[in-house]
């Protein structure tokens, strides 16, 4: 029987790769729902190709446009409520959560509560709402499969082992385009330079986060919630070749790692096909060609975002939501030329310094997220 999918963020880098997996294994998957935000042309092409029953367009302006252009059997729904509808359709088995940013939390939470398995790319869901997601998963009994390559690697390296046997998780990181740059050079980094990721082809927000290394901070928090491991037992290790996707160290000193070429279709296919592996007919890893694999510690003085993330999760409460929202605003400001590259982590730091944590509830997380964006705007306005 085919697995019915809704793909949130279908027009993005992960969304289009997920549709590649569906195309390659059309005997196993059927697309029932899609969501996009502003990329109407691509969404219309996807509707034509995959014939989803329902499509959500979260940008309300774009939604009007697509409704008039989209005839046939596909129903169009608008805004965040539309995304929630696509995430909770009766005949959907699994939701691929692949929008970018904190906006992913509400539809993902709705999908879990509606009993849908989740393939999670939207790490922000766990960063800001991890304390809500864990009990929601336990209550509904659905599976949450990580799509992030590092978490997929840990998930695969952890199978068959009890939590008590884990000593630490080792999240690998390419180090981004500025790994070898001096601090003074990084201060002057341009948008074009920050968007030039050495190994991965991704959406612009995560590419900038990889350059600041905030992405690894977000991933550390994601790993904490996914695997129930204390943040202090999650290490970050620079591995410029992006071949070892992450590792688990056990109490007997043994380390189990997952390796492969850097192509997001591999972890996506693993999440969609779980517990079975799917052949995507991709280039295979050839160690003789790869040569050496190298590792080094991250330089936290050059990349202070890593420290911000450890601080945020240690403080707990609404701190991770505030850090995430401030970072989203800071990255947006950098992309439009409103702050320098190093201004990104400085802005996040200033917003976090102003915050008094609230206890965790959905209402407080959303309030903290909105508060952090207002603080960022105020600081940027000065």
Ligand X SMILES: NC(=O)c1ccc[n+]([C@@H]2O[C@H](COP(=O)([O-])OP(=O)(O)OC[C@H]3O[C@@H](n4cnc5c(N)ncnc54)[C@H](OP(=O)(O)O)[C@@H]3O)[C@@H](O)[C@H]2O)c1
Q: Which stretch binds ligand X (CB under 6 A): 24-32, 118-126, 234-242, 336-344?
A: 118-126
- Binding residue for ligand X (CB under 6 A) from 181, 200, 250, 274? 200
- Binding residue for ligand X (CB under 6 A) from 14, 169, 186, 214? 14
- Binding residue for ligand X (CB under 6 A) from 76, 103, 170, 244? 103
Rg over alpha carbons for the chain, rounded to the nearest Å, is 20
- Binding residue for ligand X (CB under 6 A) from 78, 89, 111, 121? 121
Q: Which stretch binds ligand X (CB under 6 A): 23-31, 201-209, 300-308, 328-336?
A: 201-209
Taking Cα atoms as reference points, which of 181, 126, 168 lies closest to residue 341? Answer: 181
Q: Do the beta carbons of residue 90 and residue 6 sit within 8 Å? A: no
**Least distance CB 58 / ligand X (angstroms):** 4
Distance, in Å, from the CA atom of 98 to the CA atom of 18, rounded to the nearest integer, reads 9
Cβ neighbours of residue 145 under 8 Å, at least 6 residues apart? 117, 118, 119, 120, 152, 155, 270, 271, 274
User: What is the pattern of x (binds ligand X, CB under 6 A) and - over residues 333-372?
Assistant: ----------------------------------------
Q: Which stretch binds ligand X (CB under 6 A): 30-38, 69-77, 181-189, 285-293?
A: 30-38
Q: Residue 13, interface with ligand X (CB under 6 A)?
A: yes
Pairing of strands 29-36, 3-8: parallel
Q: Residue 129, interface with ligand X (CB under 6 A)?
A: no
Q: Residue 324, interface with ligand X (CB under 6 A)?
A: no
- Among residues 8 and 170, whose Cβ is nearest to ligand X? 8
Q: Residue 199, interface with ligand X (CB under 6 A)?
A: no
Q: Which residues pair with 56 in a beta bridge?
A: 35, 77
Give the C-alpha distances (Å, rounded to integers) separating 362 from 139, 304, 369: 16, 28, 11
Which DSSP category does 63 fall into?
Answer: H
**Least distance CB 360 / ligand X (angstroms):** 20
Q: Residue 58, interface with ligand X (CB under 6 A)?
A: yes
Q: Residue 82, interface with ligand X (CB under 6 A)?
A: no
Q: Residue 12, interface with ligand X (CB under 6 A)?
A: yes
- Among residues 20 and 165, whose Cβ is nearest to ligand X? 20
Q: Do the beta carbons of residue 98 and residue 121 sit within 8 Å? A: yes
- Binding residue for ligand X (CB under 6 A) from 117, 128, 146, 148? 148
Q: Which stretch binds ligand X (CB under 6 A): 8-16, 109-117, 244-252, 348-356?
A: 8-16
- Which residues 234-273 are close enough to bind ligand X by CB under 6 A? 264
Q: Do the beta carbons of residue 148 and residue 123 sit within 8 Å? A: yes
Distance, in Å, from the CA atom of 181 to the CA atom of 357, rounded to the nearest integer, reads 35
Taking Cα atoms as reference points, which of 356, 347, 348 lies closest to residue 315? Answer: 356
Distance, in Å, from the CA atom of 239 to the CA atom of 256, rounded to the nearest integer, reads 16
- Binding residue for ligand X (CB under 6 A) from 6, 11, 74, 157? 11
Dihedral of the alpha carbons of 114, 115, 121, 126, in degrees to the nearest 10: 80
Q: Residue 46, interface with ligand X (CB under 6 A)?
A: no
Distance, in Å, from the CA atom of 303 to the CA atom of 296, rounded to the nearest integer, reads 14
Q: Residue 85, interface with ligand X (CB under 6 A)?
A: no
Residues at the site binding ligand X, with contacts judged by CB under 6 A: 9-15, 36-39, 58, 98-100, 103, 121-124, 148, 200, 202-203, 205-206, 264
């Amino acid at each position: 029987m085919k697995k019915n999918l809704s793909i949130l963020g279908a027009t993005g880098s992960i969304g289009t790769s997920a549709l590649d997996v569906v195309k390659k294994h059309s005997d196993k998957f059927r697309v029932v729902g899609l969501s996009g935000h502003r990329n109407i042309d691509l969404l219309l092409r996807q509707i034509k190709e995959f014939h989803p029953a329902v499509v959500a367009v979260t940008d309300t302006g774009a939604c009007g446009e697509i409704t008039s252009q989209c005839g046939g059997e596909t129903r169009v729904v608008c805004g965040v409520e539309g995304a929630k509808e696509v995430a909770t359709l009766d005949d959907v088995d699994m939701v691929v959560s692949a929008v970018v940013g904190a906006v992913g939390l509400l539809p993902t939470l709705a999908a879990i509560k509606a009993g849908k398995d989740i393939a999670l790319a939207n790490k922000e869901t766990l960063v800001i709402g991890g304390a809500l997601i864990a009990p929601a998963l336990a209550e509904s009994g659905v599976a949450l499969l990580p799509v992030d390559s590092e978490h997929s690697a840990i998930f695969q390296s952890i199978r068959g082992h009890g939590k008590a046997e884990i000593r630490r998780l080792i999240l690998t990181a390419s180090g981004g385009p500025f790994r070898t740059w001096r601090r003074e050079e990084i201060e002057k980094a341009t948008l074009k330079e920050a968007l030039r990721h050495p190994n991965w082809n991704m959406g612009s927000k995560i590419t900038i986060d990889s350059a600041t290394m905030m992405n690894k901070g977000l991933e550390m928090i994601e790993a904490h919630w996914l695997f129930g491991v204390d943040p202090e037992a999650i290490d970050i290790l620079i591995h410029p070749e992006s071949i070892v996707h992450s590792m688990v160290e056990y109490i007997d000193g043994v380390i189990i790692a997952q390796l492969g070429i850097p192509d997001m279709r591999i972890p996506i296919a693993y999440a969609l096909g779980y517990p079975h592996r799917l052949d995507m007919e991709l280039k295979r890893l050839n160690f003789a060609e790869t040569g050496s694999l190298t590792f080094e510690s991250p330089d936290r003085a050059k990349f202070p975002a890593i420290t911000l993330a450890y601080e945020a999760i240690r403080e707990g409460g609404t701190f991770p939501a505030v850090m995430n929202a401030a970072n989203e605003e800071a990255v947006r400001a950098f992309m439009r030329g409103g702050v320098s590259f190093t201004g990104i982590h400085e802005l996040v730091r200033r917003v976090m310094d102003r915050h008094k944590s609230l206890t965790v509830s959905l209402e407080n997380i959303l309030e903290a997220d909105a508060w952090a964006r207002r603080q960022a705007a105020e600081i940027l306005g000065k």
